[in-house]
C-alpha cells in the first residue's frame, strides 16, 4: 500500500493519522486478466488505484466495444459520473492483464472529508487532474489526427502496445484496427 501513499503525497502532504484513516478504508485486490472490475450498469461506490497491471474503462455503442481510457501503474480509475450522481454507469472497468488493485471505499472516504480537510483537498486535486485529462482526451479527438493521437499515446504510455490488445488501442484512438496498422507502419 506504500505505492498508494506515495501517489497521494504527490498531490497533498498527509499526516500519519490521515494515512492511517485512508489505509483503513482501502483493500488490496488481486485480479486476473480480462476480469471485470466493475460491470456496466453498476453504481460506482469504489475508487480504484492500479498498483500493478493495467485496466480500461469501456462501453458498447451499436454493439461495438469502445475503450474510453487506460489506467496503468500508479493511476486512479473510477466511474466518476456514477460515483457522484449515484446512478448506474453505462460504462464498465475491465482488467487487461493480471493486476493488483487497491479499492478505496468511496462512502467511507466521503465521510472522512469533514473530519480531515487534507483528505478532501487531496481527492479534490485528484479529481481535478482527472477532469483535465478528460478534457485533453476530448480535445485530442476534436483537434488531432489519428496519427497524432497515436504518437501522443506512445509518448504518454510508451509500453502500452506491448501490454494491450490492438483492438482496444484502436477503439481508444477512435479508429479501426486496419487504420491503426496503417498508422503503425508509417510511423516507424
Q: What is the pLDDT of residues 153-187, one digit of tens each?
A: 999 998 998 999 999 999 999 999 999 999 999 97
Give how far Cα 188 sits from Cα of 40, 153, 162, 183, 185, Å: 37, 15, 15, 9, 6
Q: State residue 187's pLDDT score.
A: 79
Q: Are strands 75-77 and 36-38 parallel, antiparallel or unpaired?
A: unpaired
Half-sphere exposure (Cβ direction) of 118: Cα atoms closer than 13 Å: 13
CATH of domain 1-117: 2.60.120.10
**Is the Cα dihedral 6, 114, 43, 80 positive or negative?**
negative
Return the number of other C-beta atoms located less than 10 Å from residue 56's C-beta.
25
Q: What is the mean pLDDT of residues 100-115?
A: 96
Q: What is the mean pLDDT of residues 11-30?
A: 97
Reference 58, options 76, 72, 79; nearest CA is 79
Residue 111: pLDDT band with limits 50, 70, 90 = very high
Residue 35: pLDDT band with limits 50, 70, 90 = very high
Q: State residue 124's pLDDT score.
A: 97
Q: State residue 89's pLDDT score.
A: 96
Q: What is the mean pLDDT of residues 46-55?
A: 98
Q: What is the mean pLDDT of residues 51-62?
A: 97
Expressed in percent and rounded to 5, the helix, strand and coil fractions of the chain are: 50, 25, 20
Q: What is the mean pLDDT of residues 83-108?
A: 97
Mean pLDDT of the chain: 95
Residues 6+ apart with CB under 8 A from 10: none
Q: State residue 188's pLDDT score.
A: 67
Amino acid at each position: 500500500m506504500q505505492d498508494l501513499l506515495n501517489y497521494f503525497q504527490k498531490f497533498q502532504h498527509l499526516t500519519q493519522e490521515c494515512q492511517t484513516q485512508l489505509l483503513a478504508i482501502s483493500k488490496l485486490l488481486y485480479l486476473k486478466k480480462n476480469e471485470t472490475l466493475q460491470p456496466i450498469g453498476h453504481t460506482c461506490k469504489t475508487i480504484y488505484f492500479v498498483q500493478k497491471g493495467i485496466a480500461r474503462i469501456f462501453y458498447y455503442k451499436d454493439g461495438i466495444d469502445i475503450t474510453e481510457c487506460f489506467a496503468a501503474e500508479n493511476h486512479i480509475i473510477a466511474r466518476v459520473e456514477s460515483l457522484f450522481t449515484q446512478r448506474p454507469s453505462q460504462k464498465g472497468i475491465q482488467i487487461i492483464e493480471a493486476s493488483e488493485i487497491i479499492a478505496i471505499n468511496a462512502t467511507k472516504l466521503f465521510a472522512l472529508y469533514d473530519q480531515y480537510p487534507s483528505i478532501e483537498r487531496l481527492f479534490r486535486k485528484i479529481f481535478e487532474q482527472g477532469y483535465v485529462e478528460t478534457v485533453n482526451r476530448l480535445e485530442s479527438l476534436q483537434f488531432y489526427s489519428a496519427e497524432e493521437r497515436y504518437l501522443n499515446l506512445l509518448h504518454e504510455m510508451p509500453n502500452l502496445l506491448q501490454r494491450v490488445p490492438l483492438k482496444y488501442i484502436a477503439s481508444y484512438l477512435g479508429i479501426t484496427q486496419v487504420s491503426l496498422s496503417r498508422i503503425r507502419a508509417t510511423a516507424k
